[in-house]
Each structure stands twice: as structure tokens, then as C-alpha cells.
Amino acid sequence: MTIARMAKSLLMAGVMTMAAGTPGRTAAIDVRFAPPDVELPKSAVCTPRVRDEDMIAEWTTWDQKALPKRATFAITRDMNRMRDLDARRFEPIITRIQELMPTVKKNYGETDALFDRVKLMLAKGESDKVREEALVQKLIDIGGHPAGSLNTLADYLIEGRGIAQDKEAGFKLKVQAAYGGNADAILDLARLTEDGQAVEGWEIEPELAVNMAFGSLVGVLDEGICDRISRVAREYDDGEVVVKDPALSMAWYRFAADLGDTAAAWEVAELNLLSEKVVKDNDVLLKYLKKAADGGNMAAILEMGRLYAEGALVPRDKEKAFAYFKQAEAAGNQAGVIKQAQLLEQTKDASPEDAAAYEDLLRRLIARKDPPPWAFTRLARVIQTRDGIWKSAPEVKPLLEEAVKRGDIEGGIDLAELLMREDLSPETIARSTDLLSGAIHINGEINAIAKLQRVYLCMDPAGPDVAASDYWANIEAGAGNKTLDLAPEQIDKLPELKDPMVIAAIQTQALYGRASALALYQRYLKGAGYSDQVLRFWAERAEVRRGATVEAALLEFKQNLEKGRINDAKRSIQMTGEGMTVDAGLSFARFLVNNYATDAESVALAKEILHPLAETGSGRAVRLLQELEGPDMDPLSSPLTRFGDVMRDRGDMSAQLLLAENAASAEERTRLYHQAISTQRCDYDDTMALAEFAIRHEREDVQRWLSIAEHIAGEDAWRQVKIADVFMALNGPDMQKHALDLYQSAREGGEPAAYYRLVKHYADNTRESYDPQKASAIFVELVGRSELQEVPEKLLMLANMKPEIQRQVSQSINVQALYQKAAEAGQPVAMREVAKLLRDDAKDTQSILAAFGWLKKAAEAGDAEAMFLLSQSYAYGLGTRPALDAAQAWMAKAAEAGYPAATQVLKLNNAGTEG
């Protein structure tokens, strides 16, 4: 019985003394009893305790024919532990141990058996039965008990357990037990004496009594010494009897550990690991942690594995970490399997061997008696990654259903996605939204918010529920999870802006592990001049996050592209192999195709980027490869044929649309179209792709996708123009009116393309909407809003307009003066146009000479048409002396710059020469 329980019993019985209106209990006894300074045995002395579950597993599989061959002390200890854990459950085992005890303990007699029987009955709550049979009284009457048994009988009398309460007789027996050397009795009496309670026959001072008790516990060097030493350590850790002293407690645990107690070794290691009560000593920590692990202590085994896995206190060593975790698994510990799985989860994406081992571990984990719910979800994801979302569905769905059944929130999110890939019926939509909203409300899963928004806006065949979608969009923004859409100049100026909310949002998303946010936050930290230590910390986080490196390259690429630095944009493309993301790869490849289509090396690089993406099922990558290979390719070896199977197994939205475009039947095309809807990201690009497909094959859905795209575009003027172009192409009166409204909205947003579309529309005299006044007014407004260097490109439109419009424009702006001003500012197109105006309206030699001068400047500035015209000037002597060599040189440069007329002239010249 502990002193705490005894004190409670005495207090309830009114025995404890009171002083000055407060409980008589005083401070703990201040005694420093240190471990002896002796030479330790070379081999272990103790019989270490094993974990309760291991002990139970052994005894519950015991055949009960004979007691195990081990120390009697260890058998008795296990019997007592089972009795304290669950006397009713383990009664058959305990009873059988008692029956067989005489076979291993020769002096185990009837009195011992009666004592064990009484202890078992009391542990089962049968105190009344013990009292009725007078079993405790019978033991008292037998007499001649050792000190420990006397103390037990004393406690029964004091508490009234199994016998009528008799405190006086109980304390008399406790005093006998104390003088007989029983440590529990001595400590109980010392505590009572320290608290001011007088006990007849006990005259020993508390401090001396504690020393006696602890000395009694240390006793002889036998197999039970470590249990007794650990008792001393616990007293100094608890502070119930003696003043709390963590350092002294650890000293006693170390003493027990050095004698072979692995449980005590773990106590030493844990005290240092937590470093809350003692000053951490890593050398001591590692020494005793390894001692505990080597002795089979499960907590220590798992901790050693963790240290090697993380590289904390010891060098990172994956193999040693696995060895410890496998040791735990071999001992039947599920955490060992889980830890192995967690370790492999970090490397499975980069190593096929680790991916296979990870899958095997998860399968073993879910086959166990009580597997963790998340294991079903992780296994489902592994199978999806390996086989593709479409091919794997029959195997994955039951796993996710089981994960949901067991309460795994992430499994519910994945199941919602899978269900919607199967069909988009009202029942499926209802269950999927329930799963997603449950993940948000129950577990606060932020990622589920965007998915729920996507369902309401883009997935439900009943049409977009804009109000519900906006509600969840606002929730996502409030949670700081919405991806920040920053303009290039904002990104460059982040360090100067010092906006704590924006920086906090980027940092939060970087901590989530979002690759784009990691790239952006690292760029900010570098620009803000943070220390190398901080930069290194975030660089290490980015290294383990798949795609973070390529996202940094993509960010740099987009910054250069937005600023017109084409060559710098090309240099910023990084071939990162396994780190290439689909979005980044497509951006890089499309850029190379658009800007370097005639450069074989750039085209080869684009193909090198696209092939791995096509192998993942990216439809856009396959489509771009088809563009690169051209219309004359062999259909049997085309990208569509080569990557058809992978698109069917794991293809994304664009892959489903590409397959649908080439489907063998209308039914197959419709099925693939629905699959595309279920896998879309619900962003502008995907909804526009669906709209374009619908125009050709599903006309009734066109307006749905365009309205969703319009909602997503918001006030983005360029996207408004692109959406309006589709509406305009549909040709209906209502569609045309809506397109004009969108063009007007984009015009108000300052988008030049909107001005072009409106001018072209009102300047077309074949339409009923022909309106020269409106066309000229919009054109004049466009020129007025343009920067000087952009004006010449705008003015070129005027030459193709009707004379009436040209006349009205010339009444508002001086076209020649604007060209002249831009030319003087160094704009090549303006130089060329000024030259053409001077030459076409030449009234004297001076004008012709001036025209030649502007042409030469424009040509030298890189304008292809100017090169062609300059070549003609040299050939015919317009404004200069004829110079055939110069004419030929500039004609070649014009052709090299891509001017079609120059290319044609050179072809004719070469044909004439060859003839």
C-alpha cells in the first residue's frame, strides 16, 4: 500500500492530526540517500521487467502444464502484476500459478497459498466474502509471518479490508513489520510521524526511519534488487515521502540500470530526453538509451530508431533506423511497422524499391488485428500512384470505404474524389459533399475546402451553385489556404512592401509544404537579406518537398517572361528530372515551342520535358507533342497512340478530352467527357477546355462552362476577352451581345485586346453593327491610353480600316506626328513608318534622303520590314547611291529575320542562278 493511499485512509478515519486549523501534513522528509559507491558486477544481476502487454501475451499462451523455467522471483512478480492489472480476467492463470508454485518454491506452503488466495479475492472486490470466511483473521491467528506479510495484514486491519476495521491492532502489526525491516511499513510510519501522528511503539525519527527503509530496500545484491532500487528512485521522483530530487532519482535509476534493469535505463534516457527535471546530458542519454534498447525495452527501441531516422544526436542512418524498427515489429509492436512505413514514405516517390517496400508494409499493417485507419488511405494512394486513378479504382474503393468506416478523415476526402470519378449522380454528389464538409467540420481539413468549392462550382450537373462556391472560397481565403495571385512587380517588391499579412500567408502555405509557396517564400527571404541559417532551413524543407525546386525555376521563368526578357526566361528553365511538375513542364515547353520553333536544340529540349509528363498521363503534354511532330506523322507511332494506354489508366482532365476527341463511338466520347468533368481542377484553363470541347460535341453544355469560366475569371480583363471570343464565335444574338459586354468590361479594365476586338467589330461594314464613329472613338481612346513605344503598333491597324474611319481618327489625332515622336524616341516600327510616309509623300530630295535615313535606323534596330525596304533602296538608289552588295546583304538579313517577301525574293534569285 502506498503512503498516499494510507494517508487518505487515515484522514477519512479521523486519525491524522490537525494543527492551527489546517491538515497536520507537513513538508516531505528532507533526506538525501545516495546510491552506494561499490564496484558493480560484470554481468547483469537483475531480472528486468518486460512490458505489460508482452508479459500478458506470454502467460495467456502458457499451456499451464508446468511453470516456465525462470527465477521464482520473476514468476511471483508477474503473478502479482496480473492480479493488479485485472484480477478477474487473469484469475485462471493466477490460480494455476499458485497451484504449481510448490514445484519451483519448496517452502511455498499452505500459509503462502492462503495469502495469495486472499490477495486475489480482495483484488476481485470480494472483501465481504473474505470477511465471512474469516480468512484475514485466520492468517493473523496463524502468526509467524515475515515482515512484508505483517505489513499487508496491518493495512487490511487499518483499512477494514476483509476484516473488521481495527486501527490500533493494525498499527501494532505495522510497527512489528517496520522493526522487522519492511521498507513499506517504515516509510508509512516515518511519514505519519513527520505529519505529527503518534504511533504507539514507534519512537524512531522520520529522517532515520527513511534511511532505514531505503537501506532495507537496497539490501542484498539479488535478482530483485533492481525493483527495490527503482522504488527508491520513484520516491525521489514523486516527492510524496522524501523531498523531491530528480538528480538523485536519476542516480538511483542509473544504479539499477548498471545492474541490468532495462526499464531503469529507459527512465534515465527519458529524463534526459525530456530535460524537464534534469539538465540534459547527451552522452548519458545515448548510453542508457542504447542499454535499454539492447535489453528489449520497446520505448527505447523505437526512440533509437527515431534518432537514426532523423539524424538527431547520432548521424542519420536509414539502415540502423530500419533495424530498430524491425526489431520492434519482430517483438509484435505495431509502432515498429508504422515507423518503417513513415520512413519509407519520405523516399517512396524517388525509389521504386522503397515504394514496393512501403506498399508491403502497409498491406501487413492493415492485416493486423487493430490497424490504424490511415494505413488504408495510404495504401489506396500507393496503388493509385502505381496503377493510375482509373485502372486502380476497383481495388482502391474498398480500402477507402474501410478507412472512412474506421474514421480516417483523409480517406473520406479521397473517397469523395473517387466517387465523383465514378459518376456525378445527385446521390454521389450528396455523399461526396457530406464527406468533404465532415472533414472540415470534424478535423478542420483545409484542403477539403477547395475541393468542396470545386464540387459546388464545377462538378454538380445541376449547374454551378455560385453562392455555395463563393461561401467556401471566402472560408478558404480566411483560413489562409488560398493560393496568392501576386503580380510580377509585387513579387519583386515583397521585401520593400513589408506587408505582414501577405508574408504570413506565404509562410503558412510554405509550412504546409505547398511547393509554389516554398519557392516564393525563399525568394522573399533572399531579397529581404535573411541570414544563411534561415535560408538553409527553408532550402532543406524545399529539398524534401517534391516539386519545390522546379517551382522556384518556374517563378523565375515567369518573372522574366512578364518583363519581356525572353532569353533570360529561356536560361531560367531548369531540367530537374524527377522534380518536374506538370504545370512547370508545360509552361517551359510551350514557351520553347512559341519562341524557338525553328531552333532544333530548343525543340529537342521541349520534347525532353514533355515525354516524362506524357508518361504520367498529361493530355496537354501529349497534345503539344503531337503539334511538334506535325500532321504528317504516322498514326501508329503518334503520341496519341504511344501514350493512349497511360492516359486511359491515369490520365488527367485534358487526357480524357483528347481521348474523347478520338473516341470510336458517341457513347465512348460521352463517357470520357464525363470523366474529364470529374477530374477537372475547376480553374480557368480547364473550364475553357471543356467549353471548347462542348462547342464541338456537347452544345447544350457550352454556356454552363463559359459562365463558370467567367465567374473564375472575375475582373481579369485578358480572360474576359478570351471568353468573349468564344461567345462571339457562337454567333447567336444573345451570345454576341454578351461578348460585347465582356469586351466592354475588359476595355474598362485597360486590356488592349478588348479595344482591338471592339474596333474590329464596329469597323466591319459587312455587319449590321457597323459604326465608323464608334470604331474611331474606341481607336482614338486606345492610342491615347498607350505608352509612346506601343503607339506605332496600334497605328498600323488604321491602314487597314475604311477611309471613313481613317478620316474620323485623323480629326482627333495627328498620326504622322505620333509616328515622328515615337521614331525620335527610338521605336523601330515608328522609324519605318515615318520613312514610308516621307517616301510616299516626297516633294523634294530632302524628304527622300530623310526617308532613307529612318529606314536605315529602323533596319539597324532589327525591324525586318525595314531591312527589306532598305535593300530595295540600295538596289534602286532611293535616297542613296545604288549598292548591289548592300542590297543583297540587307535582303538576306530580312529573310533571316523572318520577313516573308524577302524569303521569296531570295528563293527566286537562287532559282534563277541555278537555271
In the chain, helix, strand, coil percent, each to 5?
A: 70, 0, 25
- Interval 558-576 mean pLDDT: 61
Count of residues for the chain?
A: 915
Angle at 872 between CA 868 and CA 875, to 5 degrees: 140
* DSSP 3-state of 453: helix
CA distance 437 to 449: 8
Backbone angles phi, psi at 242, to 5 degrees: -105, 160
Domain membership flag for residue 239: no
* Total domains, the chain: 2
Q: What is the pLDDT of residue 215?
A: 85
CA distance 397 to 416: 10
| Mean pLDDT across the chain | 85
Domain membership flag for residue 723: no
Domain membership flag for residue 887: yes
Grid look-up 540587307 returns 890
pLDDT tens-digit series, residues 626-660:
988 877 777 778 999 999 999 999 999 999 999 99
Q: Structural domain of residue 523, as residue ranges?
A: 484-577
Q: Rg (Cα) of the chain, in Å, rounded?
A: 43
C-alpha cell at position 860: 539597324
In the predicted model, is pLDDT for residue 584 greater than 90? no
Least confident of 206-220, 702-716, 742-756: 206-220
Region for residue 630 given its phi and psi (left: phi exceeds 0; alpha: psi -120 to 50; beta: otherwise): left
Grid look-up 520497446 returns 298
Name the strand (E) or helix (H) holding 489. Answer: helix 488-492
Domain membership flag for residue 613: no
Domain membership flag for residue 552: yes
CA distance 424 to 324: 48
CA dihedral 442, 447, 451, 457 (to 10 degrees): 100
Domain membership flag for residue 507: yes
Name the strand (E) or helix (H) holding 895. Answer: helix 884-896
The residue with greater pLDDT, 580 or 697, is 697
Residues with Cβ < 8 Å from 201, sequence gap 6 or more? Answer: 172, 175
- Interval 468-474 mean pLDDT: 90
pLDDT tens-digit series, residues 234-255:
999 988 889 999 999 999 999 9
- Domain end among 531, 546, 577: 577
Q: What is the pLDDT of residue 63?
A: 93
**367 CB burial (10 A radius; 0-12, 13-18, 19+):** exposed
CA distance 234 to 240: 10
CA distance 49 to 223: 11
Q: What is the pLDDT of residue 225?
A: 84
The residue among 314, 334, 316, 315 whose CA lies nearest residue 325 is 334
CA distance 531 to 357: 40
Specify whether the CB–CB gap between 450 and 481 falls below 8 A: yes
pLDDT band per the 50, 70, 90 thresholds, residue 527:
confident
- Domain end among 554, 577, 600: 577
Grid look-up 515615337 returns 822
In the predicted model, is pLDDT for residue 734 greater than 50? yes
- Interval 342-368 mean pLDDT: 89
DSSP for residue 861: T
- Interval 677-686 mean pLDDT: 94
The residue with greater pLDDT, 660 or 915, is 660
C-alpha cell at position 617: 498521363
CA distance 689 to 676: 10
Specify whether the CB–CB gap between 309 and 336 falls below 8 A: no
pLDDT band per the 50, 70, 90 thresholds, residue 594:
confident
- Domain end among 536, 554, 577: 577
* DSSP 3-state of 66: coil
The residue with greater pLDDT, 518 or 25, is 518
Specify whether the CB–CB gap between 173 and 157 falls below 8 A: yes
Domain membership flag for residue 640: no
**113 CB burial (10 A radius; 0-12, 13-18, 19+):** middle
Q: What is the pLDDT of residue 571?
A: 61
Domain membership flag for residue 539: yes
* DSSP 3-state of 863: coil
Grid look-up 498607350 returns 786
